[in-house]
Amino acid sequence: MSYFQGDTIRFDGAFEGEIESVRVESARMRAPNGTIIDVPVANTGDIRLTGSAEVPENVSLRPGELMELEVQTVARTAAGDEVRRTAKTAFAIGTRTAALRQELPALEQTDQGITVPVEIEVGSQGRFAVTGILYGTDADGEMQAFLGCQTATMLEPGTQTLNLTFSAEDLESEDLSAPYEVRNLRLQDQSRMFLLD
């Protein structure tokens, strides 16, 4: 699970069994550097909890580091016993260092194959990768996925273009034809190991 700075994390949970009520003792996010952020949690029913918190803008993580969300609760059973539980989950926080400028870029088809120029708005220098799936039209006129492609390189800040290339030989090897379309575009910051789009 991963989020960007400023995103809202939403979570919920419930006890199972013969539980009459639940009380939250604490709910907090913890950063690797020791920063602790309290998280508001509400009871939506006798045994159900829900909460949300904004990912802090001032917390930055190194690659591989994770934030942790921890909720400590006390439940009361029908027999009057207390049951203490701690729920934890971890997640990554990233900085939006680049973004795709368009979701479905235009395809350029020649005798050599298909080139898909993907425009990226780069905010921070780094190595970025774009992946996409080429769809073709089958005999029934339906779009079908049949080729995947990835390209990556170092990019400087500004508007940049990465080309996804599908060779004519690859196109001829399938029972699909034009019109073609690229879908499932993904942008990854490989320098920081984070999926951006």
List the domains of the chain with CATH numbers.
2-94 (2.60.40.1930), 98-195 (2.60.40.3870)
Helix, strand, or coil (residue 66): coil
Structure confidence at residue 188 (pLDDT)? 92
Higher pLDDT, 11 or 187: 187
What is the distance between the alpha carbons of residues 78 and 96, in angstroms, rounded to a whole number? 48
Structure confidence at residue 117 (pLDDT)? 94
Angle at alpha carbon of residue 105, lines to 112 and 133, rounded to 5°: 70
Structure confidence at residue 51 (pLDDT)? 82
Q: Is 90 exceeded by the pLDDT of residue 65?
A: no
What tokens were used for 160? 């940049």
Structure confidence at residue 54 (pLDDT)? 83
Q: Quick check: 95 and 5 in contact, CB under 8 A? A: yes
Q: What is the mean pLDDT of residues 93-121?
A: 87
Q: Kindly indicate the confidence band of residue 43, based on its pLDDT and cuts at 50, 70 and 90.
A: low
| Region class of 47: left (phi > 0), else alpha (psi between -120 and 50), else beta | alpha
Nearest to 149 by CA among 98, 173, 185, 113: 185
Structure confidence at residue 46 (pLDDT)? 60
pTM: 0.70
Nearest to 39 by CA among 89, 92, 96: 89
Q: What is the mean pLDDT of residues 106-115?
A: 88
